Amino acid sequence: MQARPPVIGIPRSPYKAATMMLDPKMHPAQAFAAIAGACLAQLGSNSAGALEGEDPEYIHQMRVALRRLRSALRLFRPHLPVDFATRIGPELGWLTARLGTVRDWDVLLVETLPRLFRAGSNAPVRAGSSEHRLAQAVRLQAAPQRRAAAAALRSRRYRALLQDLAGTIALMQVRPAGKAARGTARATRLLAYAASRLERADLKLRAAPADLHELNPAERHELRIAAKRLRYAVEFFVALFPPKHARRYAQVLADLQTALGTLNDEASALTLLETLPVPAATLASARRRLAACEAATLQEAQAAWTRLTDTPRFWRGKRR
């Protein structure tokens, strides 16, 4: 899969992650190149929209591309060039941080506040209402973060990152890395490698207790990260396995990650709201509503968690 170059002009809609169709005959390094090429395409294709458009989904899709790429680096590190991950990792972390702050404010504005104050209603926001005042305060706080993100996307550092990624991916598409970061005595059959990585990520996730109510917010955050990394691994490797059980597992895992992500957004919302210059009564109302939303979302996460623990691990069965 060739890396799609960054587009000129704003695309009509945000560019989402491509479905991965890896060939089981690939060397793991070549599989990484295919995945990283898709991530680079998603990253570059949304940059114009993130810079010039008003739709926050462009920045969201850039962050998805960065998260997927960082997950791929972890999954395939033994088969990458020695200095690649150590060189590129900090640069991906830098860009993720620049875009992440903007995304936190965007989620608060377009998702969390409407959920708190309108409960699914499509009624327009009244001027002077609690939601209107909070939304205005959020926009003011988000503006400098958006300018900082735009500066990062226009920087030489960002262009150098894209060039480094594209060059390394091009080399790895035609031949595996010469010397792996941790030695070459590793399994090179992609199916076996995929199964071992999925098993490892699944075990980390299933270390959590059966009752998610036992977890504090920090522990739920760690569970969310584990679920996210496993989900990306599943999405990368799913086409290597028979589809029926793989799709079922992927859907249940996606439900869990969505619920855990909403819990994280609600926790972040309170932290962000407490930095705003709004009346104490408005903040108290938001705090009460967040608590109610958290209780409902935690129930959704618990249901998905229970379903996942009962779902067979598809990579343990018959392979293609």
Evaluate if residue 186 carries a pLDDT over 60.
no
Residue limits of CATH 1.40.20.10 in the chain:
189-320
What is the distance of C-alpha 207 from the center of its chain? Answer: 21
Segments of the chain assigned to CATH 1.20.120: 25-187
Q: Return d(Cα 192, Cα 184) in angstroms, integer.
A: 16
CB 232 within 8 A of CB 72: yes
CATH fold of the domain at 189-320:
CHAD domain (1.40.20)
Mean pLDDT of 213-238: 93
Architecture of domain 25-187: Up-down Bundle (1.20)
Residue with tokens 């408005």: 282
Which of 269, 227, 225, 270 is closest to 250 using CA atoms? 227
Q: Which residue has the higher pLDDT, 115 or 38?
A: 38
End-to-end distance of the chain based on CA atoms, in angstroms? Answer: 21
Evaluate whether 77 touches 85 at the Cβ level (below 8 Å).
yes
Beta-bridged to residue 183, according to DSSP, are 181
Confidence tier at 7 by pLDDT (50, 70, 90) = very low
Neighbouring C-beta atoms of residue 250, cutoff 10 Å? 18
The model's pTM: 0.86
